[in-house]
Structure 1
């Protein structure tokens, strides 16, 4: 595991908020010259701490849409059942995220689609294609309250306290 200092954490924080920042501006904001700032950035990328750079799309500007969270139960619980379901999700671009869960449900999916009718057609296709979906529980997002944000980097990268 890579050791991170305050400047490394600041680089991660800045990039999580502005992935298009110039190298010169990044260096200025962490109070380094461009070359050592660039070397730190490359080290963070090579260590796998920066998984990618992407734009945050304003879906509302594209047109009407609905975000739905779906709690999923599978029909079986063998390795093959989980593999079939997880692999089957690749056929559905409307499923924008999915997490395996411990506890009552097997997975939590995030679905973004045009409307409720297209959401239901998606679920119907998933059931017809027999990817293992047994039960599903639909939770429609009525309004965003707090979006994906910066994880508590200092807390996660700091020393463990028992």
Structure 2
């Protein structure tokens, strides 16, 4: 699939939405110097192209219930395609695993897990190890405090400047 050609207005729309997903379409149109209809058409094109894959709220779980956030480095028992597929299918079945990335280099996967407590995290790991997932070794890193979480994508990397200052 060839990458879609984006102009400065498209990038500005994406930059605004990455930080302000609830902005009204009319306010978005004003911010990018377009009337409502052309702005909505651009937005629709970006959605259909899969560049905008969804809209969601960021939830502060600590205000709702106790929880623990854990990063897990996972190593598989071998590097056969079937093993990677089995592991990825297994990971997809756990709602507590909120993100999983395949890695090149020393470890095979990085998982981000959020559970009630350490006991429920260990139950998840025990279950992964008991099933035919291909998991050979894992290394647990418990988050002690969040330091930085950016809602916005660094569009300056793509364009050489901040799209909101154009």
List, as ranges, runs of 4+ consecutive aligned residues in structure 1 with deviation greater than 4 Å: none
Runs (5+) with no aligned partner, structure 1? none
Instruction: Rate the CA distance shift 1:148–1:80 in 2: closer, same or farther, 3 A.
Output: farther
Partner-residue secondary structure (3-state), 1:15 = helix
Cα RMSD between the aligned structures?
1.3
Cα distance in 1 for partners of 2:149, 2:38 equals 33
What does residue 95 of structure 2 align with? 93
The question of whether the paired residues in 2 share the 8 Å contact of 1:66 and 1:140 is answered with yes
Runs (5+) with no aligned partner, structure 2? 161-166
What does residue 17 of structure 1 align with? 19
Instruction: Rate the CA distance shift 1:84–1:157 in 2: closer, same or farther, 3 A.
Output: farther
The question of whether the paired residues in 1 share the 8 Å contact of 2:18 and 2:153 is answered with no
What does residue 8 of structure 2 align with? 6
The question of whether the paired residues in 2 share the 8 Å contact of 1:4 and 1:157 is answered with no
Count the aligned residue pairs.
158
TM-score of the aligned structures, taking structure 2 as reference length: 0.90
Structure 1 residue 87: Cα displacement: 0.6
Question: Once the two structures are superposed, what CA deviation does each residue of 1:35-59 show, in whole Å capped at 9, x if it has no partner?
Answer: 1111111111122110111111111
TM-score of the aligned structures, taking structure 1 as reference length: 0.92
What does residue 127 of structure 2 align with? 125
